[in-house]
Amino acid sequence: MSELFDRVDALVASRSPLPPPAERKRLRTAHGLTLDEVAAALQVRRATVSGWESSTKATEPRGKEREAYARLLKQLAELYPADANTSTPVQDTAVPATFASTPAPAPEAQPVSTVPASDAAAMTSQQNTQPTSTPESAPAAASRPARTARPSTTSRRPAARKVAPANTPAGVDSRFANGPLAVVDVDADGQVLAYCTGGLVLDVPAKSLPALVDWTLKEACLGQPKLSGPGKDADPLIVLTPSALERYGLPVALTEEERHAGRIPEGHKVIKQLVRAKWQLTKRGFGPWARIYRPAQGSERACVQLCIPSWNALDTRHWGDAAQLPPAELARALGVYASRVMTPRGSTAVTGLELMTALHPPTRASEPDAEGKRHSEHNPGSLGTDPVDCAPCEAPDGHPLLKDLPRFHVRGPGEKLFEEAYDWARPMTDAECTLRHLVGIDVNMAFAAGANGLTVGLGAPTHVKAPVFDAKLPGSWLVDLSHVDLSRVKVGKDTWAELDASLLPSPFTPKGERPEGPAWYATPTVAYAVELGYDVAPIEAYVRYENGRYLDAWYTRLRDAYLATMADLGVDAALSPADFLAEMDGYRSRDPQLAIVVSAVKATVKGGLGKLRERPRGENWKPGQPWRALARPTWRPDIRAAVISRTRINLHRKIVKHAAFTGQYPIAVLSDCVVYAANGESPLDFLPYRDGKPLPGGFKLGINPGLVKHEGTQSVLWGEEVRERFNAPELNLARYIKDGQVTDKDSGE
């Protein structure tokens, strides 16, 4: 009989009522739950829970999953009843479960408990006439971030702890139980608070900056575990708001002279306090990203990273308005980035480069010797600890290798490797002018996709005369590719296509011009000439016999960070092309903080690759002299060139496939954006989808790196008017296709 009753209960539960999708998300986020946590509890995939909450294509759970899900939502609804005065869902303040360390409740011995910062702010707003800032109002706030008022005693905010909570979840490093970072702020009552990830707020007892550093290392339980076996744990990051700067005797903003120097003067009183406390600063001094440390004692590190947004630590080009966010929201945005990429070490470019090293540390511990001792040795697959010289053709102008060249000598293609992204455009044909729209498509994470699976050199180059080309050997090749004719190219194993070469950019030059003679190319470019069906005969080369797929882990980490954050914004990899375009429309407004993370992840890719060929940054440098970046083993212009080469070739391959299949040719190409003329406003109006399937090897809509999204649509009349206004028939319209705004400065006038 009990089995019969169980079946009846299950039947009733299978029809358990569920609230609308938006309400499901509101209840989850109100309790601080992530999609991962709910999925794990219900034993389903993360994407399944996301689908249950989707407002455009919600799916419904069935059977036992529905019963458990309904039970969860019912209990949450009792805890967080809907506000009858508003229909706007609660802002998602949940921190993804992929955090390296998850904040935990206070120990039972303490009469306090963790309260999310958003809840604490809500409690305060009931007792103060001044309203608490919201994510929507943050961008319009004053230049300094809005402070969260100190919660009342009823909020039971957790006190600072010297050790990790006794009930730290399994798998979480107790040293970093409170997450990778904290935003330190001073509330309206003058209390110094540290806003950590996951909504945790700690009291900060430190009265000076040296004391704050001590507290961070001894009591705050901040930091992040290493990303690879031989690596090092990430140092804790402390973000100082303007009110915290004032409290600790630092300027809220830098003077013009200090901005130019990138630091405050060495005689500043706070620096003197640090010196008296036996703390040291790195060579870059006390700037927007300061590192305060003491020399390591054995394997024990004592180092704290500071981030000062009001000193432009968070560049608006990459971090948007993050510097203006209230402390709790800033902690959330930086925390998501830290958990999915790494704890920021500086700008997104610096962090991108540091991520490469963190995933492939230069050294590792050796096997025990005869006495049982281990020693530091080279970590295979890394770039090592010593810098290597680049080939002369790979050296940028002013490099010490070129100091003997005449002063005003300009190197041509036969002397200089020039692998850069596309900047090409052409006049429209008469047939294209009869169409109505110009539609731009943009490759997602194009340079990350170019790094995926790419074999790059790990050691120094070897000079070879008259080599036989080897597509598997990374290096730089001097070869004549002027004979490659795009009017007839190989597009399959035994398939050739006849194309109009005048409507295509050359794959061998950034400007799309056909090469006129021998030039230096990276391996992917020469390999593409062979792929198109043409023979190559290199004159000489600088090849790297020590090589490997150094960037694979770097790509994977950044890809996963990008996809996870976009999925949180409602855009996942399982969407159909039409649904994908719909979900991409306005995705940034769904959660502005996560949208900031997306921008930062993409900037980390491009900036990290750019750092591989960092140029002099002031330093009183003169041409022919070395500059500071050359001393890094990660100064590798050959790796940067190979990634850019492969990215450009990947794009050209899709353009050729598209032209061969549809007869459509691009109007303009800029880096990873391509513009086509079409009769409709959507990419689906010209991309050759059949039964929902894209052209093999061509453009495919989707969120994964290497797939494309809609960049923007303008009218053909707009394009012709802009070119006529500036008397520039080949003005690159891809640069303006997103919003259609063109200025005299942009056009070069």
Secondary structure of residue 669 in the 3-state scheme: strand
For residues 365-394, give the mean pLDDT: 91
Positions of E strands within 241-391:
280-281, 289-297, 300-307, 363-365, 376-378
Confidence at 220, pLDDT banded by 50, 70, 90:
very high
According to the model, what pLDDT value does residue 618 have? 76
DSSP label of 610? H
> Please, what is the average pLDDT of the chain?
86
Confidence at 3, pLDDT banded by 50, 70, 90:
low
**CB burial string 207-221: b at 16+ within 10 A, e below:** eebbebbbbbbebbb
According to the model, what pLDDT value does residue 34 have? 80
**CB burial string 356-370: b at 16+ within 10 A, e below:** bbbbbbbebeeeeee
Could you report the per-residue pLDDT of 510-536, keeping only the tens digit for each?
A: 999 999 999 999 999 999 999 999 999
Burial class (CB in 10 A: 0-12, 13-18, 19+), 126: exposed
For residues 17-43, give the mean pLDDT: 83
Q: Which residue has the higher pLDDT, 102 or 504?
A: 504
Structure-token pair, residue 604: 């980390």
Tell me the CB-side half-sphere exposure of residue 458, using CA atoms within 13 A. Answer: 22
Would you say 145 and 132 are in contact if contact means Cβ atoms under 8 Å apart? no
- Measured CA to CA in angstroms, residue 418 lies from 5, 162, 490 at distances of 75, 55, 25
CB atoms within 10 A of CB 470: 15
Question: Would you say residue 552 has pLDDT above 80?
Answer: yes
d(C-alpha 467, C-alpha 470), whole Å: 9
Question: Would you say residue 138 has pLDDT above 60?
Answer: no
CATH class of 2-79: mainly alpha
Please tell me the pTM assigned to this model.
Answer: 0.79
In degrees rounded to 5, what are phi and psi of residue 67? -60, -50
Question: Would you say residue 249 has pLDDT above 70?
Answer: yes
Would you say 632 and 387 are in contact if contact means Cβ atoms under 8 Å apart? yes
Tell me the CB-side half-sphere exposure of residue 566, using CA atoms within 13 A. Answer: 26
Could you report the per-residue pLDDT of 425-460, keeping only the tens digit for each?
A: 999 999 999 999 999 999 999 999 999 999 999 999
- Please enumerate in sequence order all residues whose Cβ is within 8 A of that of 252, keeping only pairs 6 or more positions apart, or say none: 144, 242, 245, 246, 310
According to the model, what pLDDT value does residue 83 have? 63
For residues 610-618, give the mean pLDDT: 92
d(C-alpha 51, C-alpha 97), whole Å: 18
According to the model, what pLDDT value does residue 86 have? 42
Question: Would you say residue 5 has pLDDT above 70?
Answer: no
Could you report the per-residue pLDDT of 472-491, keeping only the tens digit for each?
A: 999 999 999 999 999 999 98
d(C-alpha 325, C-alpha 692), whole Å: 42
Secondary structure of residue 649 in the 3-state scheme: helix
Q: Which residue has the higher pLDDT, 529 or 135?
A: 529
Query: Picking from 254-263, 286-295, 385-394, 613-622, which range would have the lowest pLDDT averaged per residue?
Result: 613-622
For residues 130-141, give the mean pLDDT: 34
Angle between helices 35-42 and 46-53 (to 10 degrees): 110
According to the model, what pLDDT value does residue 23 have? 87
DSSP label of 394? G
Burial class (CB in 10 A: 0-12, 13-18, 19+), 262: middle
For residues 135-156, give the mean pLDDT: 34
User: Are β-strands 280-281 and 192-196 bridged in parallel, bridged antiparallel, or unpaired?
Assistant: unpaired
According to the model, what pLDDT value does residue 37 have? 80
d(C-alpha 749, C-alpha 727), whole Å: 10
In degrees rounded to 5, what are phi and psi of residue 356? -60, -45
Q: Which residue has the higher pLDDT, 8 or 705?
A: 705
Residue 315: name the closest of 259, 396, 272 by CA.
259
Could you report the per-residue pLDDT of 158-190, keeping only the tens digit for each?
A: 444 433 454 555 556 788 999 999 999 999 999
Angle at 586 between CA 723 and CA 712, to 5 degrees: 20
Question: Would you say residue 277 has pLDDT above 90?
Answer: yes
Q: Which residues pair with 377 in a beta bridge?
A: 364
For residues 385-391, give the mean pLDDT: 95
d(C-alpha 387, C-alpha 616), whole Å: 16
For residues 252-273, give the mean pLDDT: 95
Tell me the CB-side half-sphere exposure of residue 457, using CA atoms within 13 A. Answer: 31
- Please enumerate in sequence order all residues whose Cβ is within 8 A of that of 308, keeping only pairs 6 or more positions apart, or say none: 239, 240, 245, 250, 288, 289, 290
Angle at 504 between CA 502 and CA 508, to 5 degrees: 110
Question: Would you say residue 109 has pLDDT above 70?
Answer: no
Positions of E strands within 229-299:
237-240, 280-281, 289-297
According to the model, what pLDDT value does residue 749 have? 41
According to the model, what pLDDT value does residue 152 have? 34
Question: Would you say residue 402 has pLDDT above 90?
Answer: yes
- Please enumerate in sequence order all residues whose Cβ is within 8 A of that of 383, keeping only pairs 6 or more positions apart, or say none: 357, 360, 362, 458, 550, 633, 634, 636
Angle at 605 between CA 600 and CA 610, to 5 degrees: 115
Q: Which residue has the higher pLDDT, 167 or 231?
A: 231
Q: What are the structural domain ranges in the chain?
A: 2-79, 117-342
Residue 344: name the closest of 104, 183, 553 by CA.
183
